[in-house]
Every structure is written in C-alpha cells, then in structure tokens.
Amino acid sequence: MPPEIRNEIYHHAFSGDAAVVDPAWEGPKSLNSKGPHISSPALGTGLLRTCQRLYSEADVRTLYSNNIFRFTSVPRIHNFARGAPESFRDRFGDVEIDVRELSKEHPSVARDWIQYLSWATDAWAEKLGSMKADFPAIHTLRLNLASWPRINMDKDDLWVLLKNLLKNVEGLDRIIVTGASKGAWMEKQEPWSPMHFVGGDNVTKGDLVEWMAGTVYGEPGNKAVQWTRKNGQVQLEVFALDGVPRRACAKLAQNWQNMQIKQLPPNGHCTLHAYSQRKKAPLTKSKATRVSPSVSG
C-alpha cells in the first residue's frame, strides 16, 4: 500500500469526534483508560496491536495533533505533559481545561489553574507546571465551565477567576469557552452573557469576549466571534482570521446587519468589530439583576 494512503488511514483512524479526558501514559504509544474522569472516543488505536510491523511504522503523532485533550486538574495535565515522549511534545495543539473540581472549600484548585495559565516558560514554570511550558505548540485553548451549576463558588468569584485565567494567555489561534445553557429562557440570553458561564449577570464588570480576544494573536480587526448552542451547552469562540478564506471573511464583515436584530440566532458568527458595535448600542437593556433559573430554582 502506498505510504500516502497508509498515512491517510492512520489520520482518520486516530482522530476522534470527542475529547480525550484525563489521559495518562501506559507506554510510548499508548494511553491508559482508568481514572475518575477518564474517557476516550474510539480512536482506532487497536490497529497498533495487530502486528509488530504496523506498530513500528505507524506515525502516532496524528493521534496527538488531531484530537482535543481535556484535563480536570493541574497535576493530571502536568504529569501527562511531562510523561509524553519528547518527540511528541510539540504535537499537542488543542487542549481543554475543565474546571469542574473548583470549590470554595479548596481554594488551592483555583490558584493552581491561575498559576498553570500564567504562560510562563522559565525554570520555575517547568517545575510547577505551565501550559506554555508543557505544550509549547498549543494553538487552541478551551475552558470548560459547563459544570458551573454544580461548582460550589460564588458567581462573582467564579467570574473574577475566569478573568484571571485568561489575563496572561497570548498568541493563540483561537480560544473557546464552554458554558451551560439549558432551557428556553437561557436560549434567549446573549451568547456571551455571564449567565451561561457563572449563573448570573449581576457580576463585577468585565467583557468575556474582550478577555478572550486578548489571548488571540493579531489586531482586533483581524478577529472574529462565533457561538454555538448544542446539548444544553453554549460554546463561545474567538479566533484569528488569518488563513480564513477571503470570501468567508467578507461574509463575516457583512453580518453587522444581522447583529442588529433583537435576539441573535442560536448559532452564528461575526467580526469582533460587529460584536463591539452591538455591545456599545444594545437593543435591549436589563432593568433588573438576573440569575439563571438553574441557580435561582
């Protein structure tokens, strides 16, 4: 079989449609599947066990460059990164942080995540753990706050933590923040409303999209915003337009007219400029403090 076809097979076999959660190393080419949060999509790694020749020739770097790796604690992500074969370290580009273990009873969890996202690369960061030191080729960062209804933290504290997690991150191609958004009432809220991510909009001032945009490389005019709702969650994304086809960029620029409607569609996108214009002249203004039904009961 020609190498090109063989590599294409490996490419599809080793690419999953869901995140690999809290993986750990069993060997140079294998991840374990046991742990409190561990889960993994079908990745076709059984191919590696069919024969010694295939195990030796398969380029498993695709397994690490084509999948999302999600972690629920700093020790798990740091141990995974440090246990990766040196030749694979620059293949991990899409990493997700799931903050489900946050709790006001355990403030060290929040401190650990802030330290990990300090973006430091010095010797101290190497020892304690740092996203940029552990994953030098990272281009996509995901923050998962879909568990906020079960996180025992005040929504103001969680909002401030979200800001602190993002304030030092830089140079990404894109960033995605996931929140919980169940029910018709929540679907009517703006996709960037704090209600989706911390449970209320009566939080200290701050603009999540602007925080996110600061983590993506390039000038503000070269960035776009996208939102997607699915299965009771909302994903808010900011990404750089470099590499996006010119026609698609032109369509994004034309979306300002669509951004002037009272209620945005469940899924959509616009330029960062169009988002800023909508925020400056909102079509509806809140007259009272609002809390998500998930919190207020």
- Structural domain boundaries, residue 192: 67-296
The mean of the pLDDT values for the chain is: 82
In a domain, 7, yes or no: no
Q: Any idea what DSSP says for residue 123?
A: H
Question: Measured between alpha carbons, how far is 240 from 173 in angstroms, rounded to an integer?
Answer: 6
pLDDT for position 287: 44
Band (pLDDT 50/70/90 cuts) for residue 288 is very low
pLDDT at 39 over 70: no
Give SS3 for 277.
helix
Question: Measured between alpha carbons, how far is 173 from 224 in angstroms, rounded to an integer?
Answer: 11
Instruction: Name the least confident of 35-49, 170-184, 230-244, 246-260.
Output: 35-49
In a domain, 234, yes or no: yes
Q: Secondary structure of 28-81 in the HEC alphabet?
A: CCEECCCCCCCECCCCCHHHHHCCHHHHHHCCCHHHHHCCCEEECCHHHHHHHH
In a domain, 76, yes or no: yes
pLDDT at 259 over 70: no
Give SS3 for 178.
strand
Band (pLDDT 50/70/90 cuts) for residue 297 is very low
Question: Measured between alpha carbons, how far is 271 from 209 in angstroms, rounded to an integer?
Answer: 11
In a domain, 37, yes or no: no
pLDDT at 227 over 80: yes
pLDDT tens readout for residues 98-156: 999 999 999 999 999 999 999 998 888 877 789 999 999 999 999 999 999 999 999 99
Which residues are bridge partners to 179 per DSSP? 234
Report how many domains make up the chain: 1
pLDDT tens readout for residues 150-180: 999 999 999 999 999 999 999 999 999 999 9
Q: Report how far apart, in Å, the C-alpha atoms of 195 and of each of 30, 205, 247, 251, 293 are.
A: 40, 13, 34, 29, 10
Enter the pTM of the model.
0.84
pLDDT for position 253: 66
In a domain, 135, yes or no: yes
In a domain, 237, yes or no: yes
In a domain, 21, yes or no: no
In a domain, 28, yes or no: no
